[in-house]
Amino acid sequence: MKIEYKNKTLEKTVIALNCVAILVVATTFVMLFGFDVPPMPRMLLRYIDGWLFFFFFAEKIIRYFNAVTKRDYLRMYWFEIPLLAVVLFAIIGAGRWYTGASVREFSLDVISIYLAFQVIDKLCRSVVNIASSGHNPARALTSVFAALILAGAGLLMLPKAHNLPRMSFTDAVFTATSATCVTGLIVKDTGSDFTMFGQVVILFLIQLGGLGIVIFGAVLGLMLGQSLTVRESAAMQDIISADTLHRIVRMIGFIFTFTIIIESVGAVCLFPMWNNIPGAPSDMAAAWFNSLFHSVSAFCNAGFALYSNNLMHFHSMPEVYLVIAPLIILGGLGFSVLYNIADIITSRIASWFSKGHRLVDLLHTSSPKRLHLQTRIVLSVSAILIAGGTVFLWLFESCSQNPSADRGILAAFFQSVTARTAGFNTVDIAALSDGSKLVLILLMFIGGSPGSSAGGIKTTTFAVIVMVAWATLRKRREVEMFRRSIRLVVLGRAITILMLYLSMMLIAVLALLITERHSNIAFLDILFESASALGTVGLSTGITPTLTTAGKWIIIAGMLAGRLGPLTLLTALLFNVKPAKYEYPTEPLVVG
């Protein structure tokens, strides 16, 4: 919903003042909560927040009277009046609940919460507007990710965010990029080098980067009663890989609800895992934070852990295989696939209730809903890759001469699951055989599925390329999958993605060979690190902290490119290139 204003100049002035106010609020919050001793007097900063509260209050009044249609304005910002009423009630009633200086502190705390809500609301709406502006959406999405990374890096450099004497800008950007791009490569130990404040920042970056800050902006707008315009819906459709425009609101609601439910259930199931483990949290609050952190990290395919050796201490815990592995798999399927599966399940349950509660009807296959082609491909390829990766890893490690090798089938299964998306490890990656490392590189290269937070060329791209070769061997004129023909434009996109991804990996490897030429790092380890960064996986043979500054920036660029996708980056560069309106005559060509 777009609000029309009578005085355009006044509205532009209000928008500019809003931007300044948001920057001032962010600055005061950083000074108040990011330093042990604020650079400015604490009460002065709190009073500045108080004046900003009055500014936002006045802004609402100005916009209300400047709006062409008052009803549309109240409909879009319906929550403002109840919110202001709650704030004023809390400030007025503070005198009855507290005495002395506590009254002032409580009132200022309430105002700070209100300001935080205002900033989040305005930033989320701005992100949605930027994504739907129509001015090169790929470039806008890249800019949003870059802004989020820089903001996260700034927060991680604050004294209250880390336990180090000093956090360098490169290490802060590396950590923020790894979290936002849900990779998991680290140059600083997440559990010991960062404080609780820093770990919370990393957790928020994982959540925002995994699902997309644009999606959160749309969710907040929908929760507050704001309807999406056609342009905003089209932008959301492209971001979440939805197939139809009219289901976009339901799709966004499903993404938010499913994420909250799955991550909450995962946190509850992980809670018993921290008992009787060296270094595990002793108090309940820390245990719950551990559970939530690892649940979010697993579902968003981030691979961040709060322990120096990742999950190696927990290799014998059933929660690793029964909770974390399923979370990784679900997070890597893509929301369009999950939505299709959930739609079929709910349809069958509804049909079952309408047919007299017979169990045979619930299991009957003649459901009005069907699995989409993408769902069939994703589920099939994912199962094949997990099973194949498990078998090959188990075989290579069983034949390994390394006495410390973990030859268990469960360890092979978990590494096969996590290598395509997440980056958790229950075994020492550096101790794996060369054959196992090559298998992991291949799995990281393929990655997860479209519409998920996973990287790689994606399972559908891999399936299309394999079926192109299969169709050529069978001398079929069309590529067919599950009795469906694949359009030529899809084949072109798949081949383009493969070539771009191979090119980016080759550039990353060559660049690291130059920057790390004075280090005793094996070529396979550099190839492994590059594949992990571009695949946003996070597995490492242990060379990440030892990289030079230039090497770290190469990995940063690789993680960002892998999260956005090579096709998105190419679109950002070639958005204004117009297609040719002519064709040349064809001529036979021999290949192979």
* Per-residue pLDDT tens over the stretch 527-539: 999 999 998 898 9
Residue 422, both tokens: 């997440």
Residue 152, both tokens: 């996260």
* Per-residue pLDDT tens over the stretch 450-473: 878 788 888 999 999 999 888 888
Mean pLDDT, residues 414-431 taken together: 87
Residue 397, both tokens: 């490690």
From the list 163, 233, 174, 151, the residue with the least C-alpha distance to 197 is: 163
Q: How many CA atoms lie within 13 A of 444 on its CB side?
A: 31
Mean pLDDT of the chain: 81
pLDDT value, residue 194: 92
More confident site: 139 or 497: 497
* Per-residue pLDDT tens over the stretch 49-99: 888 888 888 888 888 888 888 887 777 777 777 777 888 788 777 666 666
Helix (H/G/I), strand (E/B), else coil: 484:
strand
Mean pLDDT, residues 296-306 taken together: 89
pLDDT cut 70: percent of the chain above it: 80
pLDDT value, residue 128: 63
* Per-residue pLDDT tens over the stretch 314-347: 888 888 889 999 999 998 888 888 888 888 888 7
Q: Please state, in angstroms and rounded to a whole number, the distance separating the CA atoms of residues 351 and 347.
A: 6
Q: Which H or E element spans position 485? A: strand 484-485
> CA of 419: how far to CAs of 16, 37, 336, 460, in Å?
46, 43, 22, 17
* Per-residue pLDDT tens over the stretch 170-195: 999 999 999 988 888 989 998 889 99
More confident site: 155 or 488: 155
* Dihedral, 275, 279, 284, 285 alpha carbons, nearest 10: -150
Q: Is the pLDDT of residue 362 over 50?
A: no
Mean pLDDT, residues 558-576 taken together: 71
pLDDT cut 90: percent of the chain above it: 22
Q: Please state, in angstroms and rounded to a whole number, the distance separating the CA atoms of residues 355 and 175.
A: 54
Q: CB-based contacts of 418: which residues, under 8 Å, 6+ apart?
A: 303, 325, 328, 424, 425, 537, 539
From the list 158, 76, 86, the residue with the least C-alpha distance to 125 is: 76
DSSP code, position 344:
H
Q: Where are the domains positioned within the chain?
A: 1-131
